[in-house]
Amino acid sequence: MAKRRSRRRGRCKYYVNTNFFVDLSEERSEAVSFARRNRGVICTSTVLVFEYRQYEKGFVARSIARRYDIRIYRVPVLALLSEARDLAGPHASINTIFDYAHILAAKMIGAEYMVTSDKGACNKAIELGLCCINHGSGGERCLTRG
pLDDT in tens, 13-31: 999 988 888 888 777 778 8
Residue 23 falls inside a structural domain: yes
Residue 121 falls inside a structural domain: no
Residue 126 falls inside a structural domain: no
pLDDT at 105 over 70: yes
- d(C-alpha 103, C-alpha 100), whole Å: 5
Distance separating the N- and C-terminal Cα atoms of the chain = 45
Which pLDDT value is given to residue 140?
Answer: 72
Q: Do strands 139-141 and 131-134 pair parallel, antiparallel, or not at all (unpaired)? A: antiparallel
Residue 145 falls inside a structural domain: no
Count of domains for the chain? 1
pLDDT at 7 over 50: no
Q: Look at residues 103, 101, 100 and name the one whose alpha carbon lies nearest to residue 132.
A: 103
Q: Is 134 helix (H, G, I), strand (E, B) or coil?
A: strand
Residue 91 falls inside a structural domain: yes
Residue 125 falls inside a structural domain: no
Which pLDDT value is given to residue 59?
Answer: 60
Residue 139 falls inside a structural domain: no
pLDDT (tens digit per residue) in 65-88: 889 999 999 988 888 999 999 999
* Count of C-beta atoms within a 10 Å radius of residue 50: 16
Residue 73's domain comprises: 14-114
Instruction: Identify whether the C-beta of residue 130 lies closer than 8 Å to the C-beta of residue 13.
Output: no
pLDDT classification of 6: cutoffs 50, 70, 90: very low
Mean per-residue pLDDT, 45-73: 79
* Count of C-beta atoms within a 10 Å radius of residue 67: 12
Among 1-5, 15-19, 54-58, top mean pLDDT goes to 15-19
Which pLDDT value is given to residue 2?
Answer: 47
Q: Is 66 helix (H, G, I), strand (E, B) or coil?
A: helix
Query: In terms of DSSP H, where are the helices of 76-117?
Result: 77-88, 94-108
Residue 4 falls inside a structural domain: no
Q: Domain with 27 in it: what CATH number?
A: 3.40.50.1010
